[in-house]
Amino acid sequence: MSQSKPDDAYGLCTYVATSRSGKDNSTQKAIPGASGFSAWGLIHSRHLPSRTPLAFSPRSSPVLSAQKTGAPVAVAVRGAAAPSLPPSLQGEGAPPSKEERLQHLQMDKMAKLLTYVAAAHLLLSMMAMVIESRKRKRATPREIIRYGPIDERDRMRFEYLNTKIWKNDVTCVNMLRLNKASFFRFCNLLRERGSLRDTIHMCVEQQVAMFLNIVGHNLKNRLVGTNYDRSGETVSRYFNKVLHAIGELQNELIRLSSSTTPTKIAGNPRWDPYFKDCIGAIDGTHVRASVSKDMEAAFCGRKTYATQNVMAAVDFDLRFTYVLAGWEGTAHDALVLRDALEREHGLRVPQGKFYLVDAGYGAKPGFLSPFRGVRYHLNEWGNNPVQNEKELFNLRHSSLRVTVERAFGSLKRRFKILDDATPYFPFTTQVEIVVACCIIHNWVIQDGSDEFIIPEQNWMPTYSHASSSSGQEREHTFMVNFRQEIANRMWEDRQNHYADPYVATGQYARGSNEPLGTAGDDIEEIQGEDTGAAVTADDGGATSSATRPNKRAEIVQGNADGLVAAFDCASERLSGAIKEAATADKDMPEGLFDTVNTLPGFEHEHKSFYFEHLVNNPHIARAFNRLPFDHKLTWVAKFVSNNFSSHEDMT
């Protein structure tokens, strides 16, 4: 059976299908479509469920409803002649031949091709519409958004900065914790690095000033926003920007500057050569933290409130060389140190060098701790002299390790947000603030010290870092032996120092409570030896000598006798006055017990305790006895209210 072929490959063909019942129906409906190669679809009867043909309306859209009419489906497409039905569909029960099957496959391929072409055409048309629409929008001039006049507001903001923030050095230090010159140099550093930029209404100086004002005084964003005439969102946004910009300076400022012998140790006989390989000291401090209720248990350790345990390594110029913040307050110092060593970019100790640590960290390679069970904070040359090599080592170890405590003291002195103040930020931000403050601290030392850096001679150490023996770290044998060797060398050098006859030993020193002029005897003997004559005295006081006696010796002896006599007389008078004063102070007024016992309104026990207080303090008893009656009642009532409850607890 011949099959007509469409004249145009992009045209549409007509395909008429009848049901398999053999009924002939030439009903055909044309699908309206675009000209050229446009088509809405081609449907074959075998693509549909049985007995569910589709009927298309000439004026309907391509997506049409199915109608159960029982009639064959006819789809007519413009641009092609309608093919005749295959013989297999014209009669009932006639099996299709091979040619008919090939013809069906060819028609299926043509239908798929036309479907793909139509879909591609539709997609390209939609893209063209979108492109044209955007071209029209770009061609249309857009009206410029104009801001309201805010010049007056900017003028008021700068006036506040010039009069209240950086008016002079005193004001700048009070508000920003930096002097005026250091503040502007720090701002220029951040601007030149590109970490911060000036915006249309806020310069870098304003951004940094808000940050320093917050961390320097632990202020809330709302208060800072009111002072600087900014919204809370603006303050928070620029605070985070400045925090990130300062964090970019970490690799430049928080690092080990040199591994050579520190200048503080080199040439000092107390520490050189024993600590010549020491590069700094390590210790921990607690910074107040603000966490949720379910986390407080892990952060409440040594303090009664939540804290974070901050470990830091400091060189002997008070610069932080490593900082690890964010550990819970209950974490032991040795655990924090172990975490610092295991981190990818953590603490690293150069080969052959070591840090000074306290007993809580334990002695291990790279970390030298003091002897346990031995006095640590001593006065080497005072009333508590060292007794052995271990005490001497601990004393010099302590005097050198105090550097890290000075660094912590200077840091908290400058930034009050770290000094027992409850922060108002998320905990992750609190941890970053600690590191940022250490970076600023190092920059200030590099730029030039100021009044917040505590001088060594003014430092009053507070030793509150003792650890329990159960929590102390296990010590390494190598460092224990190394520590003992240093202690032995110290002790040996100290003994040799005192044995040197050319070293000041104090053998010629004389105190004010010793008799003066006794050195005349030595002078007389020496000069007698020089003259070669022996000076003797007979019972009559006359002298007999081969030569004339030394007049200088006689004068010294006479002056010495007068001084000794005067000193003895003054001493006796002084001792008598002391005895008289002591005896008089113990005198108790007569009838004191009766006076106390007759006071109304007090219980017997109250009076007994107060009388005991008067007996122990006779001067108070005498003053009490001379008081008027109503004043006596006031004294006793005050004593009972202050002290009687404690006595009651003791009983």
**Could you give the percent of the chain with pLDDT greater than 90?**
31
Band (pLDDT 50/70/90 cuts) for residue 187 is very high
Q: For residue 191, what pLDDT is reported?
A: 95
Q: For residue 586, what pLDDT is reported?
A: 62
Residues 56/31, Cβ–Cβ less than 8 Å: yes
Residue with tokens 């009639």: 71
Q: How much is the average pLDDT of 524-546? A: 39
Q: How much is the average pLDDT of 512-526? A: 44
Q: For residue 470, what pLDDT is reported?
A: 39
Highest-scoring range by mean pLDDT, 197-201, 215-219, 394-398, 470-474: 215-219
Q: Is the pLDDT of residue 620 over 70?
A: yes
Q: Is the pLDDT of residue 630 over 70?
A: yes
CA angle 325, 331, 335 (to 5 degrees): 85
Band (pLDDT 50/70/90 cuts) for residue 445 is very high
CA 223/CA 213 separation, integer angstroms: 10
Q: Greatest CA separation found in the chain?
A: 181
Q: For residue 260, what pLDDT is reported?
A: 85
Highest-scoring range by mean pLDDT, 24-33, 92-101, 315-324: 315-324
Residues 167/161, Cβ–Cβ less than 8 Å: no
* Sequence-ordered alpha helix ranges (H) in 448-518: 477-499
Residues in the chain, overall count: 651
Structure tokens at 297: 């248990």
| Contacts (Cβ under 8 Å, ≥6 apart) of 605 | 644
CA 625/CA 513 separation, integer angstroms: 40
Q: For residue 339, what pLDDT is reported?
A: 93
Range from 38-52, 113-127, 142-156, 319-333 carrying the lowest mean pLDDT: 38-52
Q: For residue 147, what pLDDT is reported?
A: 58
Range from 189-198, 272-281, 375-384, 633-642 carrying the lowest mean pLDDT: 375-384
CA 433/CA 465 separation, integer angstroms: 24
Between residues 536 and 108, the one the model is more confident about: 108
Range from 151-160, 237-246, 374-383, 491-500 carrying the lowest mean pLDDT: 374-383
Highest-scoring range by mean pLDDT, 12-26, 384-398, 544-558: 384-398
Q: How far is CA 469 from the centre of its chain?
A: 28
Q: Is the pLDDT of residue 302 over 60?
A: yes
Q: 319: burial class by Cβ within 10 Å (0-12, 13-18, 19+)?
A: buried
Q: What is the DSSP letter of 162?
A: I
* Sequence-ordered alpha helix ranges (H) in 279-353: 296-299, 333-342
CA 305/CA 538 separation, integer angstroms: 87
Q: How much is the average pLDDT of 26-31? A: 40
Q: How much is the average pLDDT of 521-536? A: 40
pLDDT in tens, 551-604: 444 444 444 455 556 666 666 776 766 666 555 556 778 788 888 888 887 887
Residue type at 115 in one-letter notation:
T
Band (pLDDT 50/70/90 cuts) for residue 254 is very high
Region of residue 8 (left: phi > 0; alpha: psi -120 to 50; beta: else): beta
Sort strands 354-356 and 278-288 into parallel, antiparallel or unpaired. parallel
Average pLDDT value over all residues in the chain: 73
Sort strands 307-314 and 354-356 into parallel, antiparallel or unpaired. unpaired
Between residues 441 and 138, the one the model is more confident about: 441
Q: For residue 424, what pLDDT is reported?
A: 87
Q: How much is the average pLDDT of 61-74? A: 40
Q: Is the pLDDT of residue 6 over 60?
A: no
Q: Is the pLDDT of residue 167 over 80?
A: yes
Q: 611: burial class by Cβ within 10 Å (0-12, 13-18, 19+)?
A: middle
Band (pLDDT 50/70/90 cuts) for residue 490 is confident
Structure tokens at 393: 């080592």
CA 611/CA 640 separation, integer angstroms: 11
Between residues 247 and 80, the one the model is more confident about: 247
Overall pTM > 0.75: no
Residue 74 dihedral angles phi and psi, to the nearest 5°: -130, 125
SS (H, E, C) 392-457: HHHHHHHHHHHHHHHHHHHHHHHCHHHCCCCCCCCHHHHHHHHHHHHHHHHHHHHHCCCCCCCCHH
